[in-house]
Copies of this chain bind each other. A is one copy, B any other.
Amino acid sequence: MKLATVPDGTRDGALVIVARDLSRAVPAGDIAATVQDALDRWDAVQPALAARFAALEAGSADGAVPFDPATALAPLPRAWQWLDGSAFESHGDLMQAVFGLEPNPKGRPLMYQGMSDTFLAPTQDAAFPSEADGIDFEGEFGVIVDAVPLGVTAADAERHIRLVVQINDWSLRAIAPIEMKTGFGWIQAKPASSMAPVAVTPDELGAAWRDGRVDLPLVVDWNGVRFGTASGYPMAFSLPELVAHAARTRALCAGTIIGTGTVSNANFREVGSSCIAERRGIELLDEGAPRTPFMRFGDRVRMEARTTDDAPLFGAIDQSVVAAK
């Protein structure tokens, strides 16, 4: 099943069910007003949503209309909680190299709490105050859970994963190491993130939902040039493990989004990267100094993960960077 949020003049938008090929959608407001509403009552509404998705796929859904993923909002235009991991060790290792940080302990997930009152729409301009802040994208995957009890095990956490999403966690690299050094995490370095237009149930990934991970390449293009095709699979911790880590001392509210952190593979010299900082880290290692600059106003970044059959999955994030007014 695939869900999206379309503009309706309200801040939270309206829930629609989207066809597998993203070509059509059918309203679902009579079942649940929003994606958040659906997550708040998932067990109660899932059968009706699934039935309508089946009807849409069968061509028998009343009220189906053409769907343009580029006009959708983020599946959750705002969320009560956004907890982003950093589960790709090759990314962490490169960040330490480029920022001169101490190595992080292995064996324990890294995670920060980020801004969640706004998730940018997939084609919305991303506005930042200054190019000097080191504007960078971070392509990653995430999951959205229903209500998760405090102390959930990783084994039990998987059944609370209701939706999988694709995220751009915008980062300001000139500020990040300053904030990181305080130990308090990031405020200024992590403004609003963006989400691809379509949230999908894990079964939509088929065999690519493997070991609680998204076993698909995330294709990143910067100004139309291929930048990375790293796989979402080689995470040191699975998404259910990240959910359990987050829920160790807090119950997670329905609609909590848990991120993988920047997708990164150990063979980064072959598959490229999902953020500029990582490429700069590679340049530092290989050439003695970073040479790729961060983004400029007017730059564009596109990110899309497709199925193993090269079919659409989440749709694409495709955004321009602009100066904040």
Q: Residues of A with Cβ closer than 8 Å to B?
A: 78, 80-81, 83, 86, 101, 104-105, 108, 110-118, 127-129, 133, 150-151, 172, 175, 178-189, 191-192, 245-246, 248-251, 253, 256, 324
Contact = CB atoms under 8 A, between A and B. Distances in A.
A10 to B, nearest CB: 12
Given A128-B249, A183-B101, A185-B186, A113 B110 contact: no
Given A80-B80, A185-B185, A187-B250, 15 more contacts: A83-B187, A113-B114, A113-B185, A117-B253, A117-B256, A118-B250, A128-B249, A129-B249, A133-B249, A172-B249, A180-B184, A182-B183, A188-B245, A191-B249, A191-B250
Contact of A118 (B172, B184, B253): B253
A31 B277 CA distance: 49
Nearest to A104: B182
Report, nearest first, the 9 A-B pairs whose CB atoms are least far apart.
A185-B185, A180-B183, A80-B117, A112-B184, A117-B253, A191-B250, A113-B113, A188-B248, A191-B249
Contact of A249 (B111, B114, B175, B185): B175
Contacts of A179: 183
Q: Which of A110, A112, A175 is packed against the most chain B CB atoms within 10 Å?
A: A112
Q: Which of A127, A175, A251 is packed against the most chain B CB atoms within 10 Å?
A: A251
A226 to B, nearest CB: 29
Given A150-B129, A150-B324, A185 B183 contact: yes
B250 A115 contact: yes
Nearest to A189: B249
A246 B187 CA distance: 7
A181 B183 CA distance: 6
A184 B185 contact: yes
A250 B112 CA distance: 17
B129 A151 contact: yes
Q: Which of A117, A118, A129, A180 is packed against the most chain B CB atoms within 10 Å?
A: A117
26 contacts: A78-B80, A81-B115, A81-B117, A83-B187, A101-B183, A104-B182, A105-B182, A110-B184, A111-B187, A112-B184, A115-B250, A127-B150, A128-B249, A129-B150, A129-B248, A129-B249, A133-B249, A150-B324, A180-B183, A180-B184, A182-B183, A183-B183, A185-B186, A188-B248, A188-B249, A188-B250
